[in-house]
Amino acid sequence: MLDSKHIYRYRSIDKLFEYKELENLEIYFSKPSELNDKMEEYMNIVWKGDEIAFQCMLKHYIYSLYHLYAIASIIDPGEKLDRSNLPIFLTYESLSYPEMNTLFKDIYSEFFNSPQIAQIPKLMSESQKNFNQDEIGFILKSVHLYAYLVINTLVKKHIYQNDLLKSKEYAIIYNNLKTATRYTELLKIIINSKDKEKIAQFINFSEYTQKEIKKALQIQFFDKNKHNIELLTFDFTELYMQQLKRLLYDEHYIACFTNTFNNKLMWGHYANGGNGICLKYKTKTNNSKNFIDLYLSSGISCNSNGTQIHKNYVSCEIHEVNYSDNYPEIDFFNSLGCIPMPVIHGFWLCNYEKTQFSECCEYYRNMDIWRAEYHQRATEYICTKSKEWDYEEEYRVFIRNTFSLFDNIEDRKAKYNFEDLEAIIFGQKVIDEDKKKIVQIVEKHCKNTNREDFKFYDLYYSTITKQLEIKPYI
């Protein structure tokens, strides 16, 4: 719990002056990738569901691959594909596109026309296993080349009346991948074994080396699209797995605080080895929860003049970080929060004919309960860190990028009330010149708000208490 309703934020002198954080009374919300812990972006996703749910997982995979293939070879040929933005989102309107009942339906049917691939959803469901990200990635990687060949073959046939299977070399590769037994062999190893090296060995088919397959594929690929062949044939699965979490939760940004001012490691890591300051903020309490008021984007409206983002002071909850080696699980099929409900029921959790629906649909029956649990899971995964970081005693405020409110970096700079900044503690290495600059900045704020109670402190090491203490700065 918070100590005396205060939170602290360590800052280096360089950053303080460079970004004018004190002049502007701003707190910057960082991307997870900008923080020290490289596990900040990790989301512990698990897949558990019935046969229809796993069938839909494969359906979405081949649809995303098909969509990207179409961009590269039909819609915008010759342009380099964007690796950071795969087409993993579907709109409700896209479900009624003619291609869904013609070309893509044929691709879907031919993909599951492989006897071994057709068994995958059933085996996954019957195993009652919670599949992790590596395991799902292995499964998708194992079927990827066949999925690509199905798309390549049927697009060329439908659009260009070019029957690739007339090529003997191509037909041999196609049929061997279609009838391969390793799809279910790999899956059974994943279900029954913890030997990841053995799993990885099954990913690479022994009939053909990747070099030989790649050579055969390049022969059939348009010359002007060759620069995309690596992405479409070999890199797609990994990129797809990296971006799947965008279907679950919006991007989020974090402002970090701590519970104490006298943490030696925090002074070293976040206040430039003592050549920095520690800001002391007051917090508000409501129903045993702590808050700080921040001025930031709070909504969006559209009118004849375009889109307008509204900003207001918002009471932002302060969350205590949980330090654990076990990151909270996020059930994939239960957490599709960035997908419209018609797409969930009309694509993600039903068979192709929309005559049978996954039992996972029950998750979304009571939306009030689902929404509360969904947001609670977000808080748990955003505020969980490895035990290695527990010395930080961290508290954090986070904002989620719903409606792209925080795409602009300037919108991630939140202003706070000067009255909530109670004191500044100078590190042991801060020179007098920098202290005076900081005092002058604060004096201007005090003058503008008629405030006389602001406090400055110097940090020092006490040989009596054997810890860092503070004394008034004069």
**pLDDT, tens digit, for every residue of 35-56?**
999 999 999 999 999 999 999 9
- Out of 16-25, 53-62, 80-89, 287-296, pick the least confident: 80-89
Phi-psi sector, 285: left (phi>0), alpha (psi -120 to 50), beta: beta
- Sorting pLDDT into bands at 50, 70 and 90, what band is 225? low
Residue 354 has pLDDT above 80, yes or no: yes
Span 385-410, mean pLDDT? 94
pTM: 0.90
Residue 413 has phi, psi (to 5 degrees) of -100, 105
Residue 152 has pLDDT above 70, yes or no: yes
DSSP result, 388-434: GGGGG-EEEEEEE-GGGTT-SGGGGEEEE-GGGEEEEEE-TT--HHH
Tell me, what's the pLDDT at 238?
93
Tell me, what's the pLDDT at 75?
81
What are 197-224's pLDDT values in tens digits?
Answer: 766 665 554 444 555 556 555 555 444 5
Cα–Cα distance measured from residue 136 to residue 46, given in angstroms and rounded to the nearest whole number: 9
Q: Which of 167-176, 221-230, 419-428 has the highest mean pLDDT?
A: 419-428
Domain range list for the chain: 6-42+250-321+383-472, 48-247
Mean pLDDT of the chain: 91
Task: Please give the angle made by the CA atoms of 198, 201 and 204, to the nearest 5 degrees.
Answer: 155
In three-state form (DSSP H/G/I as H, E/B as E, the rest C), the secondary structure along 170-239 is: HHHHHHHHHHCCHHHHHHHHHHHCCCHHHHHHHHCCCCCCHHHHHHHHHHHCCHHHHHHHHHHHHHHHHH
Residue 378 has pLDDT above 90, yes or no: yes
